[in-house]
A = this chain, B = another copy of it.
């Protein structure tokens, strides 16, 4: 992998400051009225090495071509068409026909950029993975633009960046600056958690959100698909899970076809889909379909009709888990599945006589975290036996469960610095989500708060820091559904996206503000209801809000 040294980064930073001077010149828009003026044609997240110059070229939608000059495949062909539309026909690219071009490309003065050649060096991989290579190089020169990538994933990232470099001048001319870029992500796991259990989120919105993720170079859709409140996943083997556990078994479910469509849509955009089936807590909605799975809670020596976590004492529990885990690994192509393991309450287990008896038999005394370990160990073994990897919430290791060395631990609680130190000291890989719970809202712009956190801000050796493979923004669903998910997430989640992709040195919110302002308008222009990033202002193209 081509690595950029610190000296080069300093040079780039200096160049950026210089180029900022010309690119912020405003051409007749009333940007002085905006609380933050937009940049023009500046990418988000910012590349590792980014050298724009003041020389500009024009693009003509009638003649501009995106050509594959190396290897090619369906994924690339689809992406080239998609990005042609994103550049010239804004609005949801799937609905390209609904949107007329905002402005016909008019050739004003300036050299025309005739093409973008996409030079893909290796055969396409089918699915993205934790190890995917997202490196690319992009040169925009007078004779044409050249995008070079080793893998299809790098080509997708480079196409996204190219599309962001193009902007429209006031007369509608599509314009791009002569630019050199070399780019790759700082972290390989850049995830976004969506909770579809507290509220159901229509498939259409999840697909829109995958577009937004691609526009921000996120590469993991962490699908918190089921929880206590509802079970919208329509299982092949246990259809009763959603028949009895979904809010509505007909309208509030993800069919196998829906899931396949979402995975395919994500795959086309280089986004992994990691489903989370959170157990043994957070599983109330599983209960009605699988009698005996949940622990009956007792009061005064009698079952009180309520249920607690999954019953870890029964063999039938693990027989069921073997089948459902095998289904998950077949349905979801990613090597990883998220097994949850957070917030297990012991109260119900304590009340249940059969559980008490089991505790005695196993010699656990009154240490119920040993019982939790017993359960997690069993389910982790089931997953491991399928040669699959897993992600778990931090409690699993906090409670001393022995995990495989390739386990990924997701840190979500406050005081994450100590936890990150601890987990990496154990030699385990980790992803951070604590500072990025975007479901918590407050008045005014909060993206700077998300922007300045860094997953490496903890005490640890270089070896420990290398075990941090990324992070995740989380949108828990207590107050979010299809009505407000997109506007509430974007561009707030963009702040996390740049943190996880770009060099650590980019941590100046004043420098980032004009670019995130432009980026939110870019998303709006592409048909996404991304809400205002900063204070008062406007986007040139916002009339298609739907």
A251, CB-defined interface residue at 8 Å: yes
A481/B531 in contact, CB under 8 A:
yes
Q: Which residues of B contact A542 (CB under 8 A)?
A: 200, 202, 481-483
A29–B532 Cα distance when bound, in Å, is 37
A483 interface neighbour in B30, B199, B481, B531, Cβ under 8 Å: B531
A477, CB-defined interface residue at 8 Å: yes
A30/B536 in contact, CB under 8 A:
no
The chain B residue with its CB closest to the CB of A30 is B247
Q: Which residues of B contact A441 (CB under 8 A)?
A: 441-443
A229/B546 in contact, CB under 8 A:
no
Q: Which of A380-427 contact B (CB under 8 A)?
A: none
Q: Which residues of B contact A199 (CB under 8 A)?
A: 532, 536-538
B483/A530 in contact, CB under 8 A:
yes
A482/B545 in contact, CB under 8 A:
yes
A2, CB-defined interface residue at 8 Å: no
Chain copies in the assembled complex: 2
A33, CB-defined interface residue at 8 Å: yes
Q: Which residues of B contact A439 (CB under 8 A)?
A: 443
A285/B481 in contact, CB under 8 A:
no
B483/A229 in contact, CB under 8 A:
no
Given the known A-B contacts A248-B540, A285-B33, A483-B487, are A443 and B440 also in contact in the complex, defined by CB atoms under 8 Å?
Answer: yes
A196-228 interface code vs B (CB 8 A; 1 in, 0 out): 011110101100000000000000000000000
A426-454 interface code vs B (CB 8 A; 1 in, 0 out): 00000000000001111111000000000
A302, CB-defined interface residue at 8 Å: no
A156 to chain B, nearest CB (A): 26
A109, CB-defined interface residue at 8 Å: no
A248 to chain B, nearest CB (A): 7
B483/A545 in contact, CB under 8 A:
yes
A442–B443 Cα distance when bound, in Å, is 7
Most buried by B among A248, A483, A488: A483
A246, CB-defined interface residue at 8 Å: yes
A288 to chain B, nearest CB (A): 9
Q: Which of A351-385 contact B (CB under 8 A)?
A: none
A198 to chain B, nearest CB (A): 4
A111, CB-defined interface residue at 8 Å: no
Q: Which of A315-346 contact B (CB under 8 A)?
A: none
B543/A198 in contact, CB under 8 A:
no
Most buried by B among A442, A479, A480: A479
A484 interface neighbour in B197, B202, B247, B484, Cβ under 8 Å: B484
Q: Which residues of B contact A248 (CB under 8 A)?
A: 29-30, 538, 540
A39, CB-defined interface residue at 8 Å: no
A525 to chain B, nearest CB (A): 12
Q: Which of A487-546 contact B (CB under 8 A)?
A: 487-488, 524, 529-532, 535-538, 540, 542-543, 545-546
A177 to chain B, nearest CB (A): 24
A536 interface neighbour in B229, B530, B531, Cβ under 8 Å: B229
A199–B534 Cα distance when bound, in Å, is 11
A478, CB-defined interface residue at 8 Å: yes
A252, CB-defined interface residue at 8 Å: yes
A268, CB-defined interface residue at 8 Å: no
A168, CB-defined interface residue at 8 Å: no
Q: Which residues of B contact A137 (CB under 8 A)?
A: none
A283, CB-defined interface residue at 8 Å: no
Q: Which residues of B contact A251 (CB under 8 A)?
A: 540, 543
A58, CB-defined interface residue at 8 Å: no
Q: Which residues of B contact A445 (CB under 8 A)?
A: 479
A230, CB-defined interface residue at 8 Å: yes
A291-311 interface code vs B (CB 8 A; 1 in, 0 out): 000000000000000000000
A378 to chain B, nearest CB (A): 28
The chain B residue with its CB closest to the CB of A487 is B484
A543/B202 in contact, CB under 8 A:
yes
Offer 13 A-B interface pairs, CB within 8 angstroms, sorted by A. A199-B537, A202-B542, A202-B543, A229-B536, A229-B537, A230-B536, A247-B538, A441-B442, A444-B478, A479-B532, A480-B532, A481-B538, A483-B530
Nearest first, the 10 A-B pairs at minimum CB distance are A198-B536, A247-B538, A483-B529, A482-B545, A484-B487, A484-B531, A229-B536, A483-B531, A483-B487, A440-B443
